[in-house]
Amino acid sequence: MRVWDAVNDISNMVHEIDGNHPTMYVVADYFDPVVSDISNKLADIDSIGVNSCASLGNCLARRDSSNERRPVLVTEWGPSGWWEAPTTSWGAPIEPVSGVRLEQYRDNYDYIAARSGRVLGSFAFYWGQKQERTYT
């Protein structure tokens, strides 16, 4: 795929200009086809970033079971997003209450911290005042 080639070429260019400047490619979750493409086509990338919320455990497990051994950073994580929430009979997402969100933050943090040898670090994501789907 030409996109992968372009990304790898840009990483190579960055390394030629500044050999001390690491490069990272960020993916939304870590699905099997992406794992294969990253491993096979992005040889010049130094680390992988992963954005994941409710599926964080599965995401990192897929990465761990792959042949990919570059450092990984969880570049965005938090509680379940509206796209991962159960819905009402009319299709509206049911957002978790604040106590549930707190537990999801704690659980994800603990999961990441337990993998300190495989995960370089992480960035918790907080929506703040942005209304995404519902008024809650």
Tell me the two tokens of residue 135: 């008024």
Q: Is 15 exposed, middle or buried (0-12, 13-18, 19+ CB in 10 A)?
A: middle
pLDDT digits (tens, 9 = 90+) for 70-100: 888 999 888 887 778 889 999 888 888 888 8
Q: State residue 17's pLDDT score.
A: 97
Q: State residue 18's pLDDT score.
A: 96
pLDDT digits (tens, 9 = 90+) for 28-73: 876 667 777 888 889 999 998 988 877 787 778 877 777 778 888 9
Distance from C-alpha of 94 to C-alpha of 89, rounded to nearest angstrom: 10
Check residue 82 and report its DSSP letter: G
The residues, ordered by sequence, that sit 6+ positions from 116 with a Cβ below 8 Å of its Cβ are none
Closest CA relative to residue 18, chosen from 27, 10, 26: 10
The alpha helices in 27-134, defined as continuous H runs, are 32-41, 56-64, 98-113
The residues, ordered by sequence, that sit 6+ positions from 52 with a Cβ below 8 Å of its Cβ are 28, 29, 30, 59, 60, 74, 76, 77
Q: What is the pTM of this model?
A: 0.79
Domain ranges of the chain: 2-124
Is residue 77 helix, strand or coil? Answer: strand
